[in-house]
Amino acid sequence: MIVSASQLRGVPKDRAELYGKPHVGARYVGNRYELTAERCGICGRQATNCHHIVPRRCGDFALVTPRGTWRLRSPLIALCGSGTTGCHDGFHGGARYRPEWVWDEPEFEEAWWDGTLLCEHEPHDPALYAYGHWAITDTKTGRTIEITEG
């Protein structure tokens, strides 16, 4: 699907697509965040912290649609290790893991970008898994990890 440059406002579409999607084993509590799962979303070891799927340095994203404007934050994922160890390092050091949100149907993607889904569901709502899933590619092995629920 082609999204207008005015909606993206300089943000690459593949990055903008990540904002507001469901968390994996974590959640925001005000401006902070916490784990909601005991296990790492990648390997299943004990989760030790949360990772922002969109790097924090990128900030939030305001999605402007015909149905309204939503301030979208980065989804969180529960991971083992720290920013320099375990699966958490795989998202940082060398970016071994590459996340992508995959829509189950093209009309679901259209409903996101025109605001229809956000009129029905809050950002990060686990109900969004009814429309798509996370596909996290391990660039070292070529394996893709599909996450279909938080």
- Residue pair 67/116 in contact (Cβ under 8 Å)? The answer is yes
Pairing of strands 32-35, 26-29: antiparallel
For 41, the token pair is: 């979303």
Question: How high is the pLDDT of residue 94?
Answer: 62
How large is the average pLDDT for residues 60-85?
Answer: 94
Closest CA to 44 of 24, 29, 27, 28: 24
Are 135 and 144 in contact by the 8 Å Cβ rule? The answer is: yes
Reported as a single tens digit per residue, the pLDDT across 94-108 is 689 999 999 999 999
Question: Which of 34, 35, 41, 3 is closest to 19 using CA atoms?
Answer: 3
The pLDDT of residue 58 is: 92
The partner residues of 50 in beta bridges, in order of sequence, read 78
Q: ∠ CA(129), CA(45), CA(150), 5° rounding?
A: 10
Beta-carbon contacts of 57 under 8 Å, excluding residues fewer than 6 positions away, are none
pTM: 0.93
Average pLDDT value for the chain? 94
Return the CA Rg of the chain: 15
The arithmetic mean of pLDDT across residues 109-132, rounded, is 97
pLDDT over threshold 90, residue 83: no
Across residues 136-142, what is the average pLDDT? 96
Closest CA to 7 of 61, 69, 64, 72: 64
CA 120/CA 24 separation, integer angstroms:
20
